[in-house]
Amino acid sequence: MPSIFQYRNSQELPALTGLSADLSSVCLSSLSRTSAYAPNLPGCIPAAGSLLLHHDQPCAVCQDLLLFRVLRSSQGRRNLSLHTSGHLQCPLFPKLLELGKLAPLDSYVTSFLQAVIQETDIWWTDVKKAISEFEKDIVSTISNKKGSIIASEKLLRYLEEKNHQRDLMKEKLRLENSFLKGYKKKLQQQLRQKEQMGDTLRGVHSQQLQVTKEQYEEKIEQKNEELQQLKLTLGKTVQILNFRKKKLQNTMETSTSLMKDISQRMELLEKIERETTLVEEQRAKAKSLDRWLQKQLSDYSTPPVMSYVQTAMAVTDLEKSIKAWQRRAEIAEVSEAELDACGT
């Protein structure tokens, strides 16, 4: 079955796709612009076309991956049967699987159709704009009988202007095409040079890569050994750190206990100092009293014994006389009270 990319005009394409000539022309022209208007396509469609151009007998599914056989089902888009044994035996099928993975094929079809519709809308907008300008400038003047000569001149100018624009576009496209051809030749030449250089340098490059690989493997082994050593050192360091933390915690607890003991001892010392000050004051007072008593003792003189006895006897007589007079006073008070009672 011939590839769809082998058809380059709208007369050959309908035989394969079943599309009309106009729609086939649109599809062929849109295929070259798919990358510009369908950025969501993953790139498997152009790659698939390139594979089909260099393949002899692709299966029907691989042809369907080019999306145009899906387009011919206008009454209802059919699903592709990817599970049949005949399709899986196609030698191109695994390559297409690698290119596009073929899973979201409907999304590829939708994106391609959206690109075609978008480009068709752009062309149709330009056509409608040209039609409206032609009707406004030419047809409206021709409809007027008096302006037939002016309309003919306008029509000639309009055609000349369009021809001039077409010539300018052709020249622009020709220059662009020649530039792209030269750029293509330059790229092909560079590619051939790179391929030739790659063939000569591939062996040396592979040896260098092998040596570099061995060197990197040795470095990796050294780094792994260093990493293991660092892990062991890290384990020891963590153990020492935990021991130091525990020791620090015990030291902090001991320090807190000592600070509390020191505070209590300071309070006790202040109390002792206050008591010492009080004792010193009492001691000073006792010393002063002792000195006064010593002075009194030094100045003291005792009277004779007989004088003391006589004085004691006189004191005793005075006490007795006092008691007698007290009795008499009590009797007198009682008598006076009785007399007062009788007088009343």
Per-residue pLDDT reduced to its tens digit, 271-305: 999 999 999 999 999 999 988 888 887 876 666 77
Q: How far is CA 318 from CA 124, 321, 323, 326, 328, in A?
A: 162, 5, 9, 12, 15
pTM of the model: 0.28
HSE-CB for 61 with a 13 A CA cutoff:
22
Torsion of CA 278, 279, 280, 284, to 10 degrees: 110
Picking from 13, 109, 111, 96, the residue whose alpha carbon sits closest to that of residue 47 is 96
- Burial letters for 171-197: b for 16+ Cβ neighbours within 10 Å, e otherwise? eeeeeeeeeeeeeeeeeeeeeeeeeee
Q: Which residues of 127-140 are buried (b: 16+ CB within 10 A; e: fewer)?
A: eeeeeeeeeeebee
Tell me the average pLDDT across 156-163: 82
Higher pLDDT, 185 or 12: 185
Q: Do 16 and 28 touch, CB atoms closer than 8 A? A: no
Tens digit of pLDDT for each residue in 175-200? 999 999 999 999 988 888 877 776 66
Question: Rounded CA gap, 81 and 60, in Å?
Answer: 10
How high is the pLDDT of residue 111?
A: 79
273, containing H or E segment: helix 148-299
Encoding tokens for residue 84? Answer: 């049949």
Q: What are the extents of the domains in the chain?
A: 4-135
Cα(105)–Cα(65) distance, integer angstroms: 8
What is the SS3 assignment for 86?
A: helix
Closest CA relative to residue 62, chosen from 44, 41, 35: 44
Q: Is the pLDDT of residue 310 over 70?
A: yes
- Classify residue 10 by its DSSP letter: T
SS3 336: helix
CA–CA separation, 135 and 37 (whole Å)? 31
Section 324-336 average pLDDT: 88
Angle at 186 between CA 181 and CA 190, to 5 degrees: 145
